Structure 1
Amino acid sequence: MFYLEIQYFILFTSSVQRKTIHSDVRANRNHKVFKENLQWIFKDLESKIITFLKKELEKLKKILQKENTQYLVKDFIENRSSMKEAALDLSLCFLREMKQDEAADALEDELFFIHQLKCSLKKKYECVFEGIAKQGDSTLLKNIYTDLYITQGCSEQVNTEHEVRQIEVASRRHESQEVQVKCKHLFEAPEQDKQIRTVLTKGVAGIGKSVSVQKFVLDWAEGKENQDISFIFPLPFREMNLKEKENQSLMDLITQFFPETKGLNLTRSNSLKVLFILDGLDECRLPLSFAGNETWSDVWSPASLDVLLTNLIEGNLLPSALIWITTRPAAASKLPPDCIDRLTEIRGFSDAQKEKYFRKRLTDEDLAREIIDHVKQSKSLFIMCHIPVFCWISATVLQNILEEKRNNDLKNNQASDVSQTLQESNTEDTPKTLTQMYTHFLRFQIQQSRRKYDGEYTPDVSWDKGAILSLGKLAFQQLERNNMIFYDTDLEACGIDVYKASVYSGMCTQIFKEETGITVGTMYCFVHLSIQEFIAAVYAHLFLDINKKSVFDNESTEQENKNKTMIDLLKTAVDKALESNSGHLDLFLRFLLGLSLQSNRRLLRGLLTQQDCNDQSNKEIVQYIKQKLEADLSPERSINLFYCLNELNDQTLVKEIQTHLSKGSLSSADLSPAQWSAVAFVLLTSEEELEEFELQKFKKSDECLIRLSAVIKTSKRAL
């Protein structure tokens, strides 16, 4: 038995040995084949790697050469793979070993920081909220954007008239006398040897400064314009105000506003072209002490925001960086003139662009044509349409009137002829003055909010007097301080808590808006300065109705100020407006006077009291204004008073002068100061352009020259 087991073991062992030998033979044969093929395998692998690397290196070279950069960067990001990243890592590693740090930095910037920044800015700026900041439906900017009229250079003196007066003056200027500048060419110097570092763009509230900034940034982010600029950092003053008390470096400030740039070093390469857009200088609450602040040149060292901004503008911080500042005219004097290389002015819409806007916004051609014709009938309305926001207000109001008229006609089984609709409406339904337009606008927006939130569809408006009082107090107090942007502390000073502000913003989205900035913080403002001025005027009347006091009365003399009448309020407002050096109460005064008329108060029934008879007050304030016109007034103040008379439906002085002009009898007439002012007003608001003003036709005197100076300024030539 044992012997048999030994035999089996020997046989098994022999079998295993034979298999092992055969296996070793096969392995040796396979290894030999593998070794024979290995050279061919690696040769093919080397060819594939080299081909891939050559293609990737060619793409990286084109990126550095700015050839088709947008497409190549997009391709790298969207088709990102471990192989592409490895090729980039190898390239960066070898470039740095070769001491080509500038090329390595440029590649990193383009493929990471610049791309991420462009994506972020495109997302933020591609849509526009017309009239509102965040509520409602957004519209693509490209669908409604209309080019604005921007001119090279403008008067460097501080304007002493209200912005509406500046628009009225600008409407008479001749385009042939001015150099137009395209927004995308702001930093292109007309002379080859001149470099433009800092551009200041002025324009009145709502004229389109921020929209121009939005279009400029969006075109860059989409790769359409100004691709020689590496980074664009839009820094609105209204948001930077929230950082007023913080000490931080310039790089920290950039990272707070643009987190995707964390790790970026703007000083590591001289080839970087950086643009800072400081939007809304007029909204800045920093002192901007150019003379008092210390010099600061280190982008990594913390300092106050005021120090950072003044040194950035002066060129001590990042001296190679481009700076674009936008502002309302009155705030331009905050900047030292020697800091500005180019001065431009946004004029808003030309007459042709106004019509283009209405036709673009209103797809119904008949409706657009009717609205254009109606606006043209009122000189004051048509002039205001230089401001894009006012075009939007006018379109909103007139479209609503037309649609209501159509609906009523349909209910009564009448055919509605659009070409006759506005003409057939009564005076209340056809706004011809600013006060009427804004009163309709307020009614419409409150009705819309009631329908949206409360399901109310009644023709009368349900007014929330508490809300109007709170918003009105904020509007009036900040108007007196010449502020357009408000923060929590401003609201609290008027007794408005943050929750109520959010409610007001939700209920009155087209009037009052709440904005949350890129950084942590909330801001508030009215949709436009003129809306703030109108709400302030409504508040002044409502305050008088409730308290029998004027908003101008000092609280310390409360007993003496009781039982004030409408005429007391209006006379005080006239005096206050005439005392203002900047004219910041001019439009407020127009609204205040317009709201004293019974016809306009009727539109606000339920909010303002309906007076049985205000004819006497009307006559008294008209006479008071005419007396003021005889005084020694600046041309700007006197012309505004004529607009005030227009709001009061009094045109006796104007018609008297028109009669004299038609008879050609002014040359020998001895006119009073008020009549000379009326001559200026008639000439400035006539339909005919002032190509040539023949001063010699008039009886020349010191009074004549002073009162007609505004006409001389706006005419192409004076004889």
Structure 2
Amino acid sequence: MDIILEKKIILTEILSAETDFILQHVQQNKLITDRDYRALKSLPQNTETSSGEVLDTLRGKGEEACQKFIVLLKQQCVLEQYPGLKDVFPDLRQGLGVSAPETPPQDPDHISKINEYRKSICFTYKNVEEYNSGPGENVLLADRYTELLIVERNRQQREIENEIRFRGEHHQQVLKTRASEANSRITVDQLFRPYDDKNVPKAVILQGNSGHGKSFTAQKIMYDWASGKVFKDLFHLVLHLKCKELNEISEANSLVDLLNYSPSFTRETEEVLKNSKMEVLFLIDGFDELKFSFEKTSTVPPKDPSTKAPLEATLSALLKGFVLPKCSLLVTTRSTASDKLSKLLSYPKRFTDILGFTEEGVKEYFQRFFKEEQLANKAFDCVRKNETLYTACFIPVICWIICTVFREKEEKGTDFTKELETPTSVFVHFVSILQEHHCQGLSQPETLLMSLGQLAERGLQEHQVLFDEKSLSAAFPDNQTTKNNPFLCKVLQRKEVKQESMYSFMHLSFQEFFAALQYLMLKNEKEALKKLRKLLGNVKRFKPVIQFLFGLSNKALHSHLIKQPWPSIQAHLQKWLLNLLKSGVNEKDMLHLLHCLYELHEDEFVRRAMGVWGKIKLPYITLTRTDCWVLLYCLQCCPTIKSLNLRYNHITAEKLRMLQPALSRCEELW
């Protein structure tokens, strides 16, 4: 605290040039709370008043926070933003402010070149483009990146099935169990920690399914290394290769040529790379996106980073350790390609798996996205009221979709608590994003979705969430579609003395969604109606599929995925529902029909159906938060309701508050 007080006047002046920058870094390093951040953010920026408040807030956090703040001020990306800090801390004039390995390279020229490279990485990687970013639009990495749940232990089949099948609170409880030490949770800075036998892994596989944040994590690692926050005692140099970009290369290239595709890699960096004393890490992002197979080739693998060879041979040489054998590797990939990758890498190697966000991670993501605590809590509470959405939020890109839609509604002045997205609409957005950004080189979109739907339906009919290679081959005759399918996950399971590859959808709810989607994609309308009648004759087993079918019948939604859906499907669904209402239904079926109306989300038809209903009886049924949200929507579509019976269903005060806006429409309330 004394050093901040001693240098407060000069620090206040220097930091006032760009207070938002230091504020972002202070929050990112968790030196202040989110509440502190919002309070400081509300002050007039780029003034000595605001920078002084930042310093005073830090002094109030105690000695440890102040010491961490001083370390932060000496990081290269901060020094680049505030050059005057070098005059505040004399030790920085000798170049000691940049975090470096404990055994730095002896050549002072190399130190200077590495520092320049770090500066460039900090500048290039501090911002991130989102899926909907326009030209020149980006956000700070610190405003989006949230720590992911990464585990090292291989899970058993029963554990994986629980992750796939469980929903809502039960699903989050499973993730909390995985986050415990017994399940070998591992953080990014521990990826290269030694094993019990003291061996340090030469290669680390960071596996994750589509939309789980692999590339985001790769960018965060690059930025944090350049800022001196991770691997500072392990690697002098960290180099980034993006496989999606490498796919565009057709001619022969050396490893150095490939690195030159990065704007941060310069001739000076190349000179440092060739220094044999260097500890170098290659971060290879998106191995699964590479177009070639890495099967045996006639090309002799290059052993010099400057030797040109076909792209497949150059990358194979790097992965197998033929070129730069002392370097370390960190490779991200989808699960569908992890076993192929593992065969290329040398021992010792570590296998890790990104499972997504825990509940705390979802909350933190909402806070970072919205910044305003009240708005973030409001959005998070809305999501918790819908079990399917709440479950899907463990996937980072689902969180982004929901937050983006919420923000758009808020900017338009719409109360998103009254216009919560249906699970169907969020899943449609999710599939559309994966189609656009992760399906390059696969079969036609409608063919792919149709095959997924048939596989999903077959699994539901047989109570199956894990599929073997034979099932996949039947669904996808094109082997490449199986390997690169972004909608499927791959797990290796021990079967006695051998391993067997099994596949699944990301969650049971996605399997149900794809099973519903195929009904609208069948080429023969009569066949589609025949299948639909059969499905509606077995409602009890396929309620979630029927609910998704109603959602996909919404005219505003199905156009995102289906060119020409059959209008007779929607007409038949609506006729079926109205006939059930007229003939009378029991309480449990009544709740299911309310969910169908909610997913359809066409107010005029919902109003018509509720008019046929007249009296809603839900006694002796314990309503979930999701049920209450659905009931609220349906009630609000009607001018009046004759009767609502909620007797003996143990409704809580929280759930009554959810229903309160519509209860005044009920002529009778039991």
TM-score, structure 1 as length reference: 0.48
Contact persistence 2:215–2:285 (CA under 8 A): yes
Report the CA distance shift for 1:248/1:442 in structure 2 as closer, same or farther (over 3 A). closer
Q: Sort the Cα spacing of 1:327 and 1:534 in 2 relative to 1 into closer, same or farther, 3 A.
A: farther
Q: Report the equivalent of 1:308.
A: 314
Q: 1:339 aligns with which of 325, 346, 349?
A: 346
RMSD: 5.4
Residue in 1 aligned with 2:446? Answer: 476
Q: 1:373 aligns with which of 381, 384, 400?
A: 381
In structure 2, the partner of 1:594 is: 548
1: CA distance between counterparts of 2:107 and 2:166?
46
Distance of 1:107 and 1:386 partners within structure 2:
46
Distance 1:178 1:109, change over 3 A: same
Work out whether residues 256 and 306 of structure 2, in 8 Å CA contact, stay in contact via their aligned partners in 1: yes
Structure 1 residues 472 and 110: alpha-carbon distance in aligned structure 2, compared to 1, 3 A threshold: closer
After TM superposition, the structure 1 = structure 2 runs for residues 484-503 of structure 1, keeping only pairs within 5 Å, are: none
- DSSP 3-state at the match of 1:325: strand
Q: How does 1:32-431 map to 2 (within 5 A)?
A: 70=76, 106-112=107-113, 114-132=114-132, 135=135, 137-155=137-155, 172-173=174-175, 174=177, 175-176=179-180, 177-191=182-196, 193-228=198-233, 229-243=235-249, 245-258=250-263, 260-262=265-267, 264-265=270-271, 268-289=274-295, 294-337=300-343, 339=346, 341-401=349-409, 422=417, 425=418, 429-431=419-421
2:247 counterpart SS class: helix
The structure-2 alpha-carbon separation of the partners of 1:126 and 1:613, relative to structure 1 and needing over 3 Å to count, comes to same
Give the SS at the match of 1:436: helix
CA pair 377-304 structure 1, distance change in 2 beyond 3 A: same
Instruction: Summarize the alignment of residues 538-549 of structure 1 with structure 2, pairs less than 5 Å apart.
Output: none
Query: Structure 1's 258 and 128: CA in aligned 2 closer, same or farther, altered over 3 A?
Result: closer
Q: Which letter maps to 2:111?
A: E
Aligned residues: 419
In structure 2, C-alpha distance between the alignment counterparts of 1:384 and 1:236, rounded to whole Å: 28
Contact 1:278 1:326 in 2 (8 A): yes
Q: Distance in 1 between matches of 2:76 and 2:552?
A: 61
Residue 566 in structure 1 maps to residue 566 in structure 2: no
Q: Deviations over 1:71-95 (max 9, x none)?
A: 99979x999xxxxxxxx9xxxxxxx
Structure 2 runs not aligned, ≥5 long:
1-73, 86-93, 95-102, 434-440, 453-505, 537-542, 578-594, 602-619, 622-670
**Quick check: 2:165–2:507 contact (8 Å CA) kept in 1?**
no
The offset of 1:196, in angstroms, is 1.4
For residues 480-629 of structure 1, what are the structure 2 equivalents within 5 Å? 550=523, 563-567=525-529, 594-596=548-550, 600-601=554-555, 611=568, 613-615=571-573
1:344-398 deviations in whole A, cap 9, x for unaligned?
1222211112122223322444433332222112222111111121112112334
* Counterpart amino acid of residue 339 in structure 1: S
8 Å Cα contact 1:472/1:538 also seen in 2: no
Provide the C-alpha distance between the structure 1 equivalents of 2:110 and 2:450, rounded to a whole number of angstroms.
Answer: 47
2:426 aligned to which of 425, 433, 437:
437
Q: Equivalent residue of 1:370, what SS?
A: helix
Supply the distance in 2 between the matched residues of 1:115 and 1:226 (Cα, whole angstroms). 15
CA contact (8 A) 1:164 1:384 kept: no
- 1:94-125 per-position Cα deviation (integer Å, ceiling 9, x unaligned): xxxxxxxx99983333223x234323322221
1:610 deviates by 5.1
**Amino acid in structure 1 at the alignment position of 2:394:** H
Corresponding position of 1:515: none
Change (3 A) 1:600 1:123: same
| Pair 1:110–1:534, CA change in 2 (3 A) | farther
Q: TM-score, normalised by structure 2?
A: 0.51
Amino acid of the structure 2 residue aligned with 1:375: V
Mapped partners of 2:530, 2:213: distance in 1: 38
Task: Provide the C-alpha distance between the structure 1 equivalents of 2:134 and 2:197, rounded to a whole number of angstroms.
Answer: 43
Amino acid at match of 1:377: K
The verdict on how the C-alpha distance between 1:360 and 1:268 changes in structure 2, with shifts beyond 3 A counting, is closer
1:70 to 1:372, Cα distance in 2 relative to 1, 3 A: closer
Aligned to 1:53: none
- Contact 2:201–2:350, Cα closer than 8 Å, also in 1: yes
SS in 2 for 1:347: strand
Measured after TM superposition, the shift of residue 307 of structure 1 is 1.4
Conserved? CA contact 2:302–2:308, under 8 Å: no
Q: SS of the counterpart of 1:335?
A: helix
Q: Is the 8 A contact 1:152 1:343 kept in 2?
A: yes
* Deviation for aligned residue 1:287: 1.0
Q: Specify the SS of the correspondent of 1:613.
A: helix
Contact 2:247 2:290 survives alignment (8 Å): yes
Name the structure 2 match of 1:450: none
CA contact (8 A) 1:601 1:610 kept: no
Q: Take 1:329 and 1:104, find their aligned partners in 2: how far apart are those partners?
A: 37
2: CA distance, partners of 1:110 / 1:327: 32
Q: CA deviation at 1:178?
A: 1.7
- Secondary structure at the counterpart of residue 445 of structure 2: helix
